[in-house]
Structures are given as C-alpha cells and as structure tokens.
Amino acid sequence: MSVFLHNNHLNAAEDDFLYHFGFGKYTKDLAQFADVKFVCTGGSAHRFELYAKLFSKETALPCSENLALSDRYVVYKTGPVLWINHGIGAPSLSIMLNETLKMLAYAGAKDVSFIRLGTSGGVGVAPGTVVISDGAINGELKQKYVQWIAGERVERETHLDEGMRAELAQSAAHLDIPHAQGKTLCADDFYEGQMRLDGFFCNYESEDKFDFLRKLQSLGVRNIEMESTCFSATLLRAGVKGAICCVTLLNRMDGDQVKLDKDTYLEFEMRPFRVVTAYIRKQIDA
Ligand SMILES: O=P(O)(O)O[C@@H]1C[C@H](O)[C@@H](CO)O1
Ligand SMILES: O=c1cc[nH]c(=O)[nH]1
C-alpha cells in the first residue's frame, strides 16, 4: 500500500522543503526513494551510519553517502533499506517521522515498514536481552500517545504489527540472541520519568521506585525507553507497519546507571541489528 499524505494542505505541484533533513522536492530527486521497503531508525547518528555500512558490506548493496544536508539527522540508503537516526524522545522522533513519511509519499514508495532499533532499560530481564515489543504504554501507563494540539489534549492509539514482531522473535531465536516479548514503557525523560534514583532531582524513595518497577512488570512491561508510543501511534495513523526491537543495557531491578564497558556496549548494540537484518534479508533475499 502506498504511503499517502494525510494532509490536504500540501499541494503536489508546490515545493516542500524538509527542513530537518536539509532537502526537499525541488532540491533532491525524491524519486530515488521510490523503492524503499524498510526504514530502520533509532537514537544515535553514529549507530545508523555504522548499521548502514555494515548492511552494505553484508549484502553487497551499495551504501549512499549521508543524504541528509542538515546536522540534525543522517539518512543512508542501501537498496530498499533506509537508515535514519531519530535523536532522543518523541519530539525529535516526530520530526523525523513526519519528514520521512512525506519524503516516501512524494516518492510513491509502497508497502514500507518501519523498525526501531534502540537501547532501553530492562524491567526484570538481563542486560543484553533484545525486547521485541508487543505494545507501548505512556507515562500514564495507558497504551496511548498524547499530543497537545491547539491547546487540546489529543490521545492516539498505539499499535505494533504482530506479524513483524513474531518474525523478529523467530529471527532472534535462530540467531540464539537472548530475547523477550513484552510491553515497552515510553518515558518522557531518562531520570525521574523512569524513576531513576541518580538524577539531579529525586523526590521519591527507593521503595517507591521498586513498587513502580513491580507494577510495570505486572502490566507486562519488560523494558523502558523514550520513543515507542510516538513511534507506534504515528505509524498506525499513517497506515504503515511498525516494530520495535530494543536491547536492554541494564536490568533496572539491579540499579540505574549504565556501566557497560565499550566492547560490551558495542556487542549489545549489534544485537538488534543482527535480528532485524536477518529478518529484512529474508524479505528482500539479499
Ligand atoms: O535508540 P536509543 O538508544 O536512543 O533509545 C534509548 C531511548 C533514548 O533515546 C535514549 C536514552 O539513553 O536511548
Ligand atoms: O535505561 C535506559 C537505557 C536506555 N534508554 C532509556 O531510555 N533508558
């Protein structure tokens, strides 16, 4: 199904400059994105440059240079797969999704799926576990994404594609990568919103934190990050399939600080990549 614009103010004949990518309809031939089938995204620019170049090496698909002309995001293309970082949190992710979805709509891309490859904090799961999300909940512990528009509170449904989740889980199993299925809490900050005790501010006690983590566990939550509700709700609204694959850097039941040595961090960061690229290569048989 085509990615189509949900905005009748945009005129097909007029220019549209995608400011945060640094290019637009009249400055870059967006037709080059017509064959895109997968958009892989996650927080850090360096991670997605690394992923794009590794995927290119493994598949012999050529890797573009960074197609973004701004310093906000990177956009790499390897055949039918785009690699775009989204920064930290829903506001940054929302900008990236809006501009990526417009770019794909202008290009006439069809049957595109988005996958978030990220890091997270585990809730009762060991560090290094790849959590493949079956739902996203917000800070109110509801499966909703809340936007404020015109001073009004707008609630959006969150949803993740069950077929993709199951196939990603199968891919993890085949690769012997420790994985779990569960809901993901999308917090609006890294410290108090995730009930860390090590932020600059902390007005609650340790037992409050553990009460909350146990409550999350009882709701089926297995990890905490900062983009899942915006990611899943925006894609549902756009009519595009989405999945979330985040490795845990720690078990929050055992502490708050991320204290991995560089090699372990890099090995953990490669786990979602290995799971997702095995899944993608099966789809595009590259
Ligand atoms: O994709 P990343 O690794 O950025 O996801 C998590 C959630 C926040 O973006 C960030 C906080 O450390 O990592
Ligand atoms: O604990 C963590 C680790 C990574 N990202 C988060 O949002 N929380």
Q: Looking at residue 285, what is its pLDDT?
A: 82
Mean pLDDT (whole number) for 158-173: 98
Q: What is the Cα–Cα distance from 4 to 102, expressed in whole angstroms? A: 8
Comparing C-alpha atoms, which of 163, 179, 171 is closest to residue 113? Answer: 163
Q: Is 194 in the pocket of ligand 1 (CB under 6 A)?
A: no
Q: What is the Cα–Cα distance from 8 to 6, expressed in whole angstroms? A: 7
CA 192 to ligand 2 center in whole angstroms: 12
Among protein residues, the one whose CA lies closest to atom 2 of ligand 2: 121
Across the chain, where does the E strand assignment appear? 17-18, 23-24, 38-42, 75-78, 81-85, 113-122, 130-137, 144-149, 152-157, 179-186, 221-225, 241-251
Among protein residues, the one whose CA lies closest to atom 4 of ligand 2: 120
CA 38 to ligand 2 center in whole angstroms: 24
Higher-pLDDT residue of 19, 4: 19
Q: Pull the structure tokens for residue 144.
A: 């909703």
Residue pair 138/229 in contact by the 8 Å Cβ criterion: yes
Q: What is the Cα–Cα distance from 180 to 177, expressed in whole angstroms? A: 10
Q: Looking at residue 263, what is its pLDDT?
A: 98
Q: Is 124 in the pocket of ligand 1 (CB under 6 A)?
A: no
CA 225 to ligand 2 center in whole angstroms: 5
76: buried, middle or exposed (CB in 10 Å: 19+, 13-18, 0-12)? Answer: buried
Q: Tell me the domain boundaries of the chain.
A: 1-111, 117-286
Is-same-fold flag (1-111; 117-286)?
yes
Q: Which fold does the domain 117-286 belong to in CATH?
A: Rossmann fold (3.40.50)
CATH 3.40.50.1580 is right for the domain spanning 1-111? yes
pLDDT digits (tens, 9 = 90+) for 40-99: 999 999 999 999 999 999 999 999 999 999 999 999 999 999 999 999 999 999 999 999
The ipTM (two decimal places) reads: 0.99
Instruction: Report the alpha-carbon angle 193-85-216, nearest 5.
Output: 25
Q: What is the DSSP letter of 187?
A: -
According to the 3-state scheme, what is the secondary structure of 203-215?
A: CCCHHHHHHHHHH
Q: Pull the structure tokens for residue 17.
A: 């400059």
Residues composing the chain: 286
Residue 286 pLDDT grade (very low, low, confident, very high; cuts 50, 70, 90): low
Taking the model in full, what pTM does it have?
0.98
Mean pLDDT (whole number) for 225-233: 98
Instruction: Enumerate the known binding-site residues for phosphate.
Output: 72, 116-119
Q: Is 225 in the pocket of ligand 1 (CB under 6 A)?
A: yes
Q: Which phi and psi angles does 37 have, rounded to 5°?
A: -120, -25
CA 188 to ligand 2 center in whole angstroms: 11
Q: Is 224 in the pocket of ligand 2 (CB under 6 A)?
A: yes
Q: Looking at residue 13, what is its pLDDT?
A: 83
Q: Is 120 in the pocket of ligand 2 (CB under 6 A)?
A: yes
CA 103 to ligand 2 center in whole angstroms: 29
Q: What is the Cα–Cα distance from 256 to 234, expressed in whole angstroms? A: 30
Q: Is 190 in the pocket of ligand 1 (CB under 6 A)?
A: yes
pLDDT digits (tens, 9 = 90+) for 182-206: 999 999 999 999 999 999 999 999 9
Among protein residues, the one whose CA lies closest to atom 4 of ligand 1: 43
Comparing C-alpha atoms, which of 226, 244, 220 is closest to residue 160? Answer: 244
Q: Pull the structure tokens for residue 105.
A: 């709509």
Q: Pull the structure tokens for residue 253.
A: 């039941």
Mean pLDDT (whole number) for 112-126: 98
Q: Is 212 in the pocket of ligand 1 (CB under 6 A)?
A: no
Mean pLDDT across the chain: 97
Q: What is the Cα–Cα distance from 12 to 39, expressed in whole angstroms? A: 23
pLDDT digits (tens, 9 = 90+) for 236-267: 999 999 999 999 999 999 999 999 999 999 99
